[in-house]
Amino acid sequence: MLVEKSRYRLLCPTCELQIIDDGTVTHCSVEHRRSLLRTEYDERSFRIDRTTQGMLRYRAWLPLREEVETDFGTVILKSEALNAHLKTPNLYLAVNGFWPERGARLPSGTFKDIEAIAILGRFPRDGRTLVAASAGNTAVALAGAASIYGVPTVIIVPESALPRILFARAPAENVRFIVVTGNAIYDDAIIAARELGTHEGHVFEGGAQNVARRDGIGTTIAAYMENVGALPEYFVQAVGSGSGAIAAHEAARRAIASGAFGTKFPHLVLVQNAPFAPIFHAWAAGSNSVEAAHRPESAYLAGAEISAAVLGSLAPPYDPQGGLLDALTESAGDVTAVENAAARTAAALFEEIEGVDLDPAAAVALAGLIERLESGAIPRDASIALHITGVGRRRLARDRHIVPNIAARIDSKRA
């Protein structure tokens, strides 16, 4: 596949500067309020590439600069049994995971595979090393994809994430892992990755600031649009950093701008895993910041108690222009938080109805949807997209026993 490298630009939502992308840009060069760059595509209409399957059907709205090939992507399902149980006639599941009986075949069993393909499709293959941080899922997905394309990659993870990072086959030699030891969490891995990215020949992937990561998962909304023919009224997803929710909102913005999908954004309904819920608390308090800079020790302890460890981010992109606060406000959205017990109940319900296991984060999302339905905050007859960010990993785990080759260990610098 030949990639046209000039079919999109980056736009700063604060100063409206347009930037020609080299595949690594994550910030506006002008000094002003923090903001998340967006992609502006030459193709404004919703165009589907019907010669392929999966996420690349929506390549017109992906910032691809290098060749990538895949046939996997989001599967849109309408579960009659779950709809009957919840009394929701218009609930659709946006499934990113491993559920081959229903067409879902993501190698890691999570939506991180879609992000990984988009990240590697944008990153320049000029010998520089891609540096990324992960709490577990990104590590598995990115290591697998980088092994295929031979992109030099360093993935930094907290030591607590190692039990979740297993492979059926060892990653290629171009992929290396660095472990942050001690009482480290995801944010410590991000700090280390950002610092390594300043070294010669290394580029920090950028996390939520990477337009490829966001537009990759934005194909989840595109898949819904193709299958249902409209935008949902409500989009429900569990969040840690919240980049997936921002991605959904940005994809809806492009859909609305196309003129073919109305004028209303889907209401974002974001779900956190209590007791670790900085986004929920900031939104409920009407705050402009999650005050992550304070990083109280109690927050670390709460993060250790949640069942969905991948949702434990202390510094989500809440306050930048184009970030979570703006997306929630513009979409007339809401944030809720559910306890571990509610998530376990939701997971058991889903497995009883559908016969497949939910990832803890996806169970949090389902529990949040149930809570919103029962409270009346979401009308039961509304059109709803529930983002299932991981499913079927129990089956995948049976064949995964290979631990990553750890190149180095570094101290978290915290007691």
| β-sheet bridge partners, residue 176 | 154
**Within-domain flag for 334:** yes
Task: Name the least confident of 85-89, 154-158, 301-305.
Answer: 301-305
pLDDT at 303: 62
**Within-domain flag for 53:** no
Residues 209-230: what's their mean pLDDT? 98
**Most confident listed range (184-198, 302-316, 319-333):** 319-333
Structure tokens at 358: 């939910």
| DSSP conformational letter for 196 | H
**Within-domain flag for 217:** yes
| DSSP conformational letter for 391 | B
Q: Tens digits of per-residue pLDDT, 162-171?
A: 998 999 999 9
**Within-domain flag for 172:** no
Residues 288-311: what's their mean pLDDT? 68
Q: What is the mean pLDDT of the chain?
A: 93
How many structural domains are present in the chain? 1
**Within-domain flag for 271:** yes
pTM of the model: 0.94
pLDDT category at 1 given cuts 50, 70, 90 is: very low
Q: What is the CA radius of gyration of the chain?
A: 20
CATH number at residue 95: 3.40.50.1100
* Domain of residue 296, residue span: 75-109+213-395
CA distances from 361 to 96, 176, 379 (A): 12, 26, 23
For residue 212, the surrounding DSSP H or E stretch is helix 211-228
Per-residue pLDDT at 140 exceeds 50 = yes
**Within-domain flag for 116:** no
| DSSP conformational letter for 60 | G
- The answer to whether the CB of 361 falls within 8 A of the CB of 308 is yes
**Within-domain flag for 2:** no
pLDDT at 298: 58
Per-residue pLDDT at 89 exceeds 70 = yes
Q: Specify the higher pLDDT residue, 110 or 294.
A: 110
For the chain, give the secondary structure using H, E and C.
CCCCCCCEEEECCCCCCEECCCCCCCCCCCCCCCECCEEEECCCCCCCCCCCCHHHHHHHHCCCCCCCCCCCCCEEECCHHHHHHHCCCCEEEEECCEEHHHCEECCCCECHHHHHHHHHHHCCCCCCEEEEECCCHHHHHHHHHHHHHCCCEEEEEEHHHHHHCCECCCCCCCEEEEEEECCCCHHHHHHHHHHHCCCCCEEECCHHHCHHHHHHHHHHHHHHHHHHCCCCCEEEEECCCCHHHHHHHHHHHHHHHCCCCCCCCCEEEEEEECCECHHHHHHHCCCCCCCHHHCCHHHHHHHHHCCCHHHCCCCCCCCCECCHHHHHHHCCCEEEEECHHHHHHHHHHHHHHHCCCECHHHHHHHHHHHHHHHHCCCCCCCCEEEEECEECHHHHHCCCCECCCEEEEEECCCC
pLDDT at 293: 36
The tally of CA atoms less than 13 A away on the side-chain side of residue 180 is: 27
**Within-domain flag for 90:** yes
Residues 147-151: what's their mean pLDDT? 97
